């Protein structure tokens, strides 16, 4: 991860050399998420997502002559999932809750129109910091085959969105999704429950300084 941050920093400084304006600010927001199984879930297991939060900083560089901007971000992000496991013998349902904490590093390229509207898209490089899962004791108490497993340490997602610049305030609406699976939080009956995510992210930001 350290090497990747250095690459992004070098790329940002290179772009800055050809820019005619810049902006730095802060942002935070809400993730309205959906979760789906990459593989078919084991019978008796259901999955749903929960809304989570994010906050971080952003920079924006306007490129000379081309009329576009590049916006790297550093965001502390959370993604959550709920699993309902129904034990086939007793028909008892156990709720497993998972919360994963990430550092997201989107690198967005966009176009500004009408002086206040922005549209953009780009890759979102994600690094797992911590993965919490609760409700395991209830499952283990049923003496069924359940094991915690590890999520992937890094993933690459995609963000597509639009934003509004209103004085020093920034409003963004993004569609954030992972085309590949993000790993397996647990295995049940010797089968991993690999998942991928998609979510709509609504963020409010504030320009701290800049000359855009």
Rounded to 10 degrees, what is the CA torsion of 127, 130, 131, 132? -160
Residue 172 has pLDDT above 60, yes or no: yes
pLDDT single digits (tens) 1-16: 555 555 555 555 554 4
Q: How far apart are CA 103 and CA 87, in angstroms?
A: 35
Beta strands in 3-153 (DSSP E): 19-37, 45-50, 52-63, 68-86, 93-113, 117-134, 146-148
Helix (H, G, I), strand (E, B) or coil at 155: strand
Domain that holds residue 65: 2-210
How many domains would you assign to the chain?
1
pLDDT of amino acid 177: 92
pLDDT of amino acid 39: 58
pLDDT of amino acid 196: 81
**What's the CATH number where 16 sits?**
2.40.160.20
Task: Tell me what the mean pLDDT of segment 81-90 comes to.
Answer: 76
pLDDT of amino acid 17: 46
Residue 180 has pLDDT above 70, yes or no: yes
pLDDT of amino acid 104: 96
Residue with the bigger pLDDT between 198 and 93: it is 198
């Amino acid at each position: 991860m350290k090497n990747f941050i250095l690459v992004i920093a070098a790329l940002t400084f290179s772009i800055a050399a050809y820019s005619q304006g810049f902006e730095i600010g802060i942002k935070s927001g809400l993730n309205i998420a959906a979760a789906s199984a990459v593989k078919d879930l084991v019978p008796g297991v259901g999955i749903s997502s929960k809304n989570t939060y994010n906050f971080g900083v952003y920079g924006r560089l306007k490129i000379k002559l081309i009329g576009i901007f590049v916006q790297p971000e550093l965001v502390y992000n959370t993604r959550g999932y709920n699993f309902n496991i129904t034990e086939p013998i007793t028909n008892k349902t156990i709720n497993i809750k998972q919360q994963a904490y990430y550092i997201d590093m989107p690198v967005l390229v966009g176009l500004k129109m009408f002086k206040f509207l922005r549209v953009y898209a780009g890759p979102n490089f994600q690094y797992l910091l911590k993965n919490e899962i609760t409700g395991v004791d209830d499952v283990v108490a049923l003496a069924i085959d359940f094991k915690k497993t590890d999520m992937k340490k890094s993933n690459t997602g995609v963000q597509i969105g639009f934003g509004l610049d209103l004085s020093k305030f920034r409003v963004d609406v993004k569609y954030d999704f992972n085309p590949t699976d993000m790993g397996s939080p647990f295995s049940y009956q010797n089968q991993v429950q690999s998942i991928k995510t998609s979510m709509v992210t609504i963020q409010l930001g504030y320009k701290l300084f800049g000359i855009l």
